[in-house]
């Protein structure tokens, strides 16, 4: 009942005319961000953060979260109508969504996607509601060693559970840690990695890095690919909408399974993209008609969309309760909280319950708003995509540079945006993951301080990380996440090598 009472208080905060209007604006902005390739949720959220400095934190986080939900829905729209995933997590939706739309069932495909997405998001918010207080109470037992162990677990989970080659993930993490250490060391007062540039004494803003990586980097990739928009009919027939809603219960097993997969991948650092692909693969394996997946199967739309939104929503739980973001967008939002003077973690639930539960309540409302708005605005955003990219691309670049300049009104930041745009482009070309770099930038300073405090407590002994069952379990699990997948890979490679002579 405690959480239920706090949630009701949160609804009193969220269901005000001002906050509902903010949700509508945020969702619409998110739809634009999701529809236009070259933007994306992390970049869109980072561009909005400077505009929230004058807002109270509750309104600001509701705006950012609503934009996030809208971006996820917008990515589904372009995947189905144009075979262009506006978000990386929407790639799996193109496999069956676009073929169904090309077959004259665009309304059915869109409705399946949006209703599945809304269901997945609802499940994610329920998980957050049920587990947030428990997770926060559990985290109150943490000291400096435990916090470092949690940060270390997040880093190791990205290496062991990520889809990229572990070495590339480690390089991305180490680069992010190096960027987080630029400037003055708060422990010794010495300057690090400034290379004699006075502009770097205060460090590198993670917002500038994110705008460069996700904004300019994606634009460069889009320009190279010579993106052209070719869509199918985008008129939404209300009769088809209601007919498809009535059809959705047939796929309840796929829906439930995908929501659970998404919730797990959201809480852990798997993320929405991995969740959507994993859920699509499981749906294909379990379906009796798996061979016809890719030709417009409803389950091929329901599975990735439900998992995508469930994971995207659940990613907020470790960010709020533990101060450990499990996705790039959650990491950007966490950076926003720290800019506003809020410290994500268990004490946030005690010191700012109106903020936390106002946000959680707004998630319920914002997802309903998103489903309604996305159905109503599909024709408008489809028409937007017919504008030549030669016009849209420069507009996106201008928005990125304006957003970066507003962070600290420094011309040097514009050069950093360009530099990190090139880094983002190279990372994409070489298949290096960007999310670990963002995570390391956000958590690097906190992890370093926790490590320093732990060393002071133990007189320099690393055994402090196995000084009690809690911290020892977390550290052992972190090391297992790095080592065990590599042992499994080596074992499978050894078996394959042993079997090859038999085949000859």
More confident residue, 40 or 180: 180
What pLDDT does residue 504 have?
A: 47
Here the tokens at position 223 are 């320009």
Give pLDDT, residue 1.
45
Is residue 503 scored above 60 in pLDDT?
no
Contact 121, 112 (CB under 8 A): no
Residues 6+ apart with CB under 8 A from 174: 440
CA gap 502, 33 in Å, rounded: 54
State how far the Cα of 176 lies from the Cα of 178, in Å rounded to an integer: 5
Are the C-beta atoms of 67 and 32 separated by less than 8 Å?
no
Q: What is the mean pLDDT of the chain?
A: 78
- In order of 255, 273, 300, the CA distances from 281 in angstroms are 14, 13, 9
pLDDT at 375 over 70: yes
Q: Give the contacts of 74 (CB within 8 A, at least 6 positions apart).
A: 30, 31, 32, 33, 34, 35, 86, 87, 374, 381
Residue 86 pLDDT? 59
Long-range contacts from 193-197, C-beta under 8 angstroms, 24+ separation: 197/412
pLDDT digits (tens, 9 = 90+) for 409-467: 788 888 988 998 899 888 888 888 877 787 788 778 778 888 888 888 888 888 888 88
User: 195-237 pLDDT, tens per residue?
Assistant: 877 778 878 877 688 778 767 776 787 777 665 555 455 566 6
**pLDDT band at residue 80 under the 50/70/90 scheme:** confident
pLDDT of 329 strictly over 50: yes
List alpha helices for 435-468, DSSP H.
435-458
Does residue 243 surpass a pLDDT of 60? yes
CB 42 within 8 A of CB 75: no
Helices (H), 83-165: 91-102, 106-139, 144-161
C-alpha distances in Å from residue 148, one per residue of 33, 125, 345: 35, 27, 13
Whether residue 22 contacts residue 63, with contact meaning beta carbons closer than 8 Å, is answered with: yes
Considering only 167-171, 381-385, 483-487, which range has the smallest mean pLDDT?
381-385
Rounded to the nearest 5°, which phi and psi values hold at 233?
-55, 135
- Between CA 409 and CA 395 the distance in angstroms is 20
Which single residue is written with the structure tokens 């906050």?
19
What is the spatial distance between Cα 435 and Cα 279, in angstroms, rounded to a whole number?
A: 20
CB 253 within 8 A of CB 77: no
Distance CA(263)–CA(257), nearest Å, equals: 10
Q: What pLDDT sits at residue 139?
A: 66
CA 375 to chain centre: 23
Cβ pair 218, 37 in contact under 8 A: yes
pLDDT at position 37 is 56
**Confidence bin at 163 (pLDDT 50/70/90):** low
Task: Give the residue-averaged pLDDT of 317-343.
Answer: 76
Q: Which positions ≥6 away from 333 have C-beta within 8 Å?
A: 45, 61, 64, 65, 68, 316, 319, 325
The model's confidence at residue 269, banded by pLDDT at 50, 70 and 90, is low
CA within 13 Å, CB half, 260: 8
């Amino acid at each position: 009942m405690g959480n239920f009472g706090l949630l009701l208080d949160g609804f009193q905060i969220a269901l005000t005319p001002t906050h509902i209007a903010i949700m509508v604006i945020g969702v619409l902005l998110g739809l634009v961000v999701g529809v236009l390739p070259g933007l994306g949720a992390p970049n869109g959220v980072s561009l909005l953060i400077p505009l929230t400095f004058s807002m109270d934190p509750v309104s600001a986080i509701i705006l950012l979260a609503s934009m996030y939900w809208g971006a996820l829905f917008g990515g589904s729209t372009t995947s189905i109508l144009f075979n262009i995933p506006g978000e990386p997590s929407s790639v799996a939706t193109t496999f069956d969504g676009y073929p169904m739309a090309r077959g004259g069932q665009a309304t059915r495909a869109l409705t399946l996607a949006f209703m599945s997405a809304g269901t997945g998001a609802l499940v994610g918010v329920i998980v957050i509601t049920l587990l947030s207080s428990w997770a926060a109470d559990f985290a109150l037992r943490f000291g400096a060693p435990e916090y470092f162990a949690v940060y270390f677990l997040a880093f190791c989970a990205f290496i062991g559970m990520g889809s990229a080659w572990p070495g590339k993930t480690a390089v991305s993490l180490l680069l992010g840690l190096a960027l987080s250490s630029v400037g003055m060391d708060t422990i010794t007062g010495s300057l690090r990695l400034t290379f004699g540039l006075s502009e770097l004494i205060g460090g590198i803003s993670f917002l500038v890095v994110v705008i460069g990586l996700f904004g300019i980097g994606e634009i460069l990739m889009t320009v190279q690919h010579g993106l052209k928009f070719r869509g199918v009919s985008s008129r939404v027939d209300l009769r088809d909408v209601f007919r498809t809603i009535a059809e959705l219960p047939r796929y309840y097993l796929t829906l439930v399974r995908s929501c659970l997969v998404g919730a797990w991948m959201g809480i852990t650092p798997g993320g929405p993209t991995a969740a959507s692909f994993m859920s699509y693969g499981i749906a294909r394996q379990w379906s009796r008609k798996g061979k016809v997946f890719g030709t417009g199967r409803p389950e091929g739309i329901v599975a990735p969309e439900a998992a995508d939104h469930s994971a995207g929503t659940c990613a907020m739980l470790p960010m709020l309760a533990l101060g450990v973001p499990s996705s790039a967008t959650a990491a950007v939002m966490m950076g926003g909280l720290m800019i506003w003077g809020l410290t994500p973690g268990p004490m946030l639930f005690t010191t700012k319950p109106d903020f936390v539960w106002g946000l959680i309540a707004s998630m319920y409302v914002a997802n309903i708003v998103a489903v309604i708005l996305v159905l109503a605005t599909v024709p408008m955003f489809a028409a937007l995509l017919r504008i030549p990219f030669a016009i849209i691309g420069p507009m996106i670049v201008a928005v990125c540079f304006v957003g970066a300049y507003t962070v600290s009104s420094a011309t040097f930041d514009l050069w950093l945006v360009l530099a990190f745009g090139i880094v983002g482009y190279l990372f994409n070309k070489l298949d290096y993951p960007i999310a670990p770099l963002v995570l390391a930038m956000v958590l690097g300073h906190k992890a370093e301080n926790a490590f320093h405090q732990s060393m002071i407590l133990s007189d320099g002994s690393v055994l402090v990380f196995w000084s009690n069952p809690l911290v020892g379990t977390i550290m052992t699990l972190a090391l297992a996440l790095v080592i065990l997948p590599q042992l499994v890979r080596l074992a499978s490679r050894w078996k394959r090598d042993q079997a090859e002579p038999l085949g000859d």
